[in-house]
Structure 1
Amino acid sequence: MLLRQATMADLPQIESIIRDGRELLAAQSVDQWQGTYPSTSIIVDDIHQGWTVVLEEDNEILGTAAVIPGEDANYERIDGQWLTDQAPYLAIHRVAVSSHHRGRGLAGELFQRIFAQIDKAENIESIRIDTHPDNKGMQHVIKKNGFTETGMIDLINQDLDGVKDYAYERVTAHINPAHLVEIKATK
C-alpha cells in the first residue's frame, strides 16, 4: 500500500469512492454528503491544487482525502476551543474509502500515512478535521487516530450554510508550546 498525490487520471475511481461513501451514509440515515457536496468540481479543484491524496494497492485506489494547507474559513469560529492558537495547520476533508474493502481499517491506514507525511513538514503544528454529528463511524476513526474533540463549527459555502459539524484537532510533533491554548477547567 502506498499514499500518493492524486492525478486527474484518478478522478473516476475517486468519484466512485465518494459515491460509495454517500450511499453508506444514506443507508445509515446520516444527512451528510446527501446533496451535491462534494461535487465533481470540488474534487477536480482539490486535485489541481495538489491537495488530494489516494491510498493505493495493486493499482487500485482504496481511499482518498483532501489535505488542505492554510486557514480554513469553516474553522474561524468554533463553539468550543481549538487546542492551538495562531499555529499553522492542515485541514483534512472529504475522507472516503472503497466499499469493496470496508472492514480492513483503511481509514485509519489513510490517516496514519497522512500523519507520517505531515510529520516531515516542520512548519505544520496541528491537523484539523470535522464530521457530521450523526456520522459515528467517522467520529470513531477520528478519535482512534489521536484527534481531540474541540467543539462545533458552522459549515459555510458549497451549499452547506447552516450545517454544524463536530470539530477535532490533533497536535503534531512540531508544536510550538507558545501556540497551545490554555484550557480552563469549568465546574
Structure 2
Amino acid sequence: MNNKNEINFRKANTTDIPVIWEIIQQAIERRRKDGSQQWQNGYPNLQTVESDVSKDFGYVITIDDEVAVFAALIFNDEPAYSTIEGAWLTTGEFLVIHRIAVSEKFAGQGLVKKLFDYIEDFVRSQNVASIKVDTNFDNIAMLKILESKGYSYCGEVFLAGGVRKAFEKVLM
C-alpha cells in the first residue's frame, strides 16, 4: 500500500455482503492451510454475514472504496462470555470483536492491526471501557496481533462448539 490509497473504516451495508462473504471464505481457507481448526465446521456462513450486516454489527475497512477487511462489532452482548474459565479484567460495558477476515488481495499489509486501532478509537468515542475478543488456540496470527496490541489473556470461553482463548483490553 502506498500513501495515495484512501483508507476508511465504516459500517458495512447490504451491497458489501457478496464481497464480505468472499473474504470470509478466503479466511476460512487460510485457516485450513495454516492447520487451524478455527472456522472449519461451516461457521461462519453466509447467513452469519447477512445477520451481522442487518443488525449493524458488520464493519469494514475499505481501500479506495474496495472492501479489504471485515469484522463484527457487538456491544455488551456475548452470552458465551458470561462464563469464563479465568476472569475478565472489567465487569462494565464492553465491545466484542468477532469474525475478523482480510481479503487475500490485502493480506500481510498490517490491516488487522490498523483495524484494531480504528475499533479502539470507535469504542472510546462511545465511552465504553473495554474490548473483549476470543480466538482459537491455534490461530497464531491473531494471537500475535492481540499480544502486539496490548490485549491481556483472561482465560478460556466455550464458543462455536469449542474452547477459545479470551482476551480483554481496558481502554479507559
Shorter-normalised TM-score: what interval? over 0.9
Task: Output the CA distance in 1 between the equivalents of 2:47 and 2:118.
Answer: 26
Q: TM-score, normalised by structure 1?
A: 0.86
Identity %: 31
AA matched with 1:117: F
Report the secondary structure of 2:49's partner residue: helix
Larger Rg: 1
- Residues 116-148 of structure 1: CA distance to partner in whole angstroms, max 9, x if unpaired? 1111111x1111000000001011111211211
Aligned: 1:78 with 2:84: yes
Please, which of 24, 49, 58 is the counterpart of residue 52 of structure 1?
58
AA matched with 2:17: L
Q: Give the aligned partner of residue 110 of structure 1.
A: 115
Aligned: 1:142 with 2:141: no
**How big is the shift at 1:166?**
0.2
Report the secondary structure of 2:131's partner residue: strand
Task: Output the CA distance in 1 between the equivalents of 2:106 and 2:17.
Answer: 19
AA matched with 2:163: K
Q: Give the aligned partner of residue 21 of structure 1.
A: 27
Report the secondary structure of 1:16's partner residue: helix
Aligned: 1:97 with 2:112: no
**How big is the shift at 1:69?**
1.0
Alignment of 1:106-185 (within 5 A): 106-122=111-127, 124-155=128-159, 160-161=160-161, 163-173=162-172
Aligned: 1:12 with 2:50: no
Please, which of 58, 64, 74 is the counterpart of residue 70 of structure 2?
64
**How big is the shift at 1:71?**
2.8
Task: Output the CA distance in 2 between the equivalents of 1:71 and 1:62.
Answer: 26
Task: Output the CA distance in 1 between the equivalents of 2:39 and 2:116.
Answer: 20
Task: Output the CA distance in 2 between the equivalents of 1:165 and 1:29.
Answer: 16
Please, which of 9, 17, 29 is the counterpart of residue 3 of structure 1?
9
Where in structure 1 do 4 or more consecutive aligned residues deviate above 4 Å? none
Question: RMSD over aligned Cα, in angstroms?
Answer: 0.9
AA matched with 2:12: A
- Residues 24-50 of structure 1: CA distance to partner in whole angstroms, max 9, x if unpaired? 110011001112101111111110111
Q: Give the aligned partner of residue 30 of structure 1.
A: 36
